[in-house]
Amino acid sequence: MTSTPDELAAATRELALAALHEITPAATVGPPAGYSVDDSGAVSLRFENRLSGYPGWYWTVSVAQVDDAEPTVLEVELMPGEGALLAPDWVPWAERLAEYRAHQAELAAQGAESDADEEDAEDDDADLDDVDDLDASDFDEDGSPHLHGGDLDGVDIDELDEDDADEVDDES
């Protein structure tokens, strides 16, 4: 049995590399980058990572040796080092949904305020612009304004109906 972690790390370096090469191309594994000893006596050997999407990460191979047996690979993984880019902590869906709904309510409130301000400004401008164009034909008998005043995009709907009726009479 290997007696010290230093000796185990040195003796299992080739075993660790062979395990790594089973899961990743040799080109993605860099030179050795140290090791750490677990409380159980297992040794985790680190190798630099050469995958372009994982700067600051290391390939880690955990190896153990038990009573005169050959060393055994326990685990092979890609682990972040100091300064590696990491995903943010996980937040339960219920909390994310509550935050989303609160944010949507804030945006709706802000939108309602700005819409009201814009409508007030537009109404003031529209009232001033339309005063010159108003005449009796713009209002119903009860004094309420027509929704479209007989026009649709500048075309008098009543005139179109009369023209169609004239064409039908001419053809008969």
47-77 pLDDT, tens digit each: 999 998 888 999 999 998 888 888 899 999 9
**Both 144 and 104 in a single domain?**
yes
For residue range 16-57, list pLDDT tens digits in order.
Answer: 999 999 999 999 999 999 998 888 878 999 999 999 888 899
Whether 98 maps to a domain, the answer reads yes
Range of the domain at 59: 5-80
User: What are phi and psi for residue 123, nearest 5 degrees?
Assistant: -65, -40
99 part of a folded domain: yes
Question: Above pLDDT 90, what percent of the chain?
Answer: 35
Do 70 and 119 belong to one domain? no
> So what's the pLDDT on residue 104?
94
86 occurs within a structural domain: no
Query: How, if at all, do strands 57-64 and 72-80 pair?
Result: antiparallel
Average confidence score pLDDT of the chain: 78
3-class secondary structure, 16: helix
19 and 50: one domain? yes
Q: What is the pLDDT of residue 73?
A: 92
Instruction: Look at the chain and count its residues.
Output: 172
DSSP for residue 131? G
Q: Is residue 111 part of a domain?
A: yes
- Report strand pairing: 57-64 vs 43-49: antiparallel
- Give the Cα separation of 54 and 48 in Å (integer): 11
Burial code of 6-18, b = ≥16 C-beta within 10 A, e = fewer? Answer: eebbeebbebbbe
Q: What is the pTM of this model?
A: 0.49
Report yes or no on 171 lying in a domain.
no
> What pLDDT, in 10s, does the model give residues 119-138?
666 655 555 455 556 666 65
Q: Could you say which of 58, 80, 102 is where a domain stops?
A: 80
Query: Is residue 18, in this structure, part of any structural domain at all?
Result: yes
Do 9 and 76 lie in one domain? The reply is yes
Residue that is last in its domain, among 80, 105, 125: 80
Count of domains in the chain?
2
- More confident call, 167 vs 64: 64
Judgement on whether residues 100 and 55 belong to the same structural domain of the protein = no
Instruction: Show the tokens assigned to 13.
Output: 């370096």
Distance of alpha carbon 12 from alpha carbon 118, whole angstroms: 73
**Residues in CB range of 141: below 8 A, 6 or more apart:** none
**Averaging pLDDT over each range in 15-19, 110-114, 140-144, which range is the top one?**
15-19
